[in-house]
Copies of this chain bind each other. A is one copy, B any other.
């Protein structure tokens, strides 16, 4: 069994080996650029780990693992246009380095490239894997649309928020794990359990991201904290704070939400409100709840315990990571 970091190396090497046509340059250069900006490769690594539970030949999972990573990066390329984001992993986003049209069209062909990769699974599981991939791809788009809609909705409920991150973030991790199980020869039941594992870990992962954006150590987190507060992003913390705040605290919170100031003062003030309302603890409680559910599903998977260690470590890392 290979370690998580060995699997990351394997994925990065396979990504570096991906070949695209040389021309038109504007269509294919942005794909190589974005794919090689790095990242933790969580989704493809999870796919290989799930495959590895049932097969020693993890190379059977390599093409679908790449498909999931290409798909994920396609969503980043298009999301960055929609969010007008200038920077991704410390470098210019594709639509800033080139332009919007290039980012739209290069993203489109990237989605097609993802399909080229996903169809390279064993023909016996092709139809099933494609169905998972299609349903997941549509769900991720739905999640992004709901997230954009949140910008103009004043009161987003906790339930709506969890549903949004389920679609935008969790289903892709879940699909990666399920497809990994199927490529490794796992049973339908085990594939379903790994889907549930991925879904709950995905929710825990996003909640942890919300927490780290406020409480992370900027040096370890890799970016300045407070970005979500400045952008009034409706994270779990802000949604909970709005729900729980009353009296003077509520007034203060609404004052800062309506303020157009993008200063440290706002970050400090809103963080203080979060502290007073204990929303960090509530988010951590929810995160742990989902992580526990994930581990319960993993425990039921019909595979040797020592084989599950990688996924267990991964799940534990998600809730204790600092970046």
- Chain A interface residues (CB < 8 Å from chain B): 21, 24, 26-27, 78, 81-82, 100-101, 104-105, 107-109, 111-113, 115-116, 119, 123, 126-127, 130-131, 134, 137-138, 141-142, 144-146, 148-149
Contact = CB atoms under 8 A, between A and B. Distances in A.
Contacts of A108: 78, 107-108, 111, 141
Report whether over half of chain A's contact residues are helix, strand or loop; otherwise say mixed: helix
> What 3 A-B pairs come out closest when comparing CB atoms?
A109-B141, A24-B145, A82-B101
A111 to B, nearest CB: 6
A141 B111 CA distance: 11
B134 A119 contact: yes
Nearest to A136: B112
A137 B149 contact: no
A134 B105 contact: no
B115 A130 contact: yes
B105 A144 contact: yes
A21 B109 CA distance: 25
Contact of A82 (B105, B111, B119, B141): B105
A142 B148 CA distance: 30
11 contacts: A100-B100, A101-B148, A108-B141, A109-B138, A111-B111, A111-B112, A115-B134, A115-B137, A119-B127, A119-B130, A119-B131
A120 B101 CA distance: 32
Given A82-B101, A82-B104, A108-B78, A27 B145 contact: yes
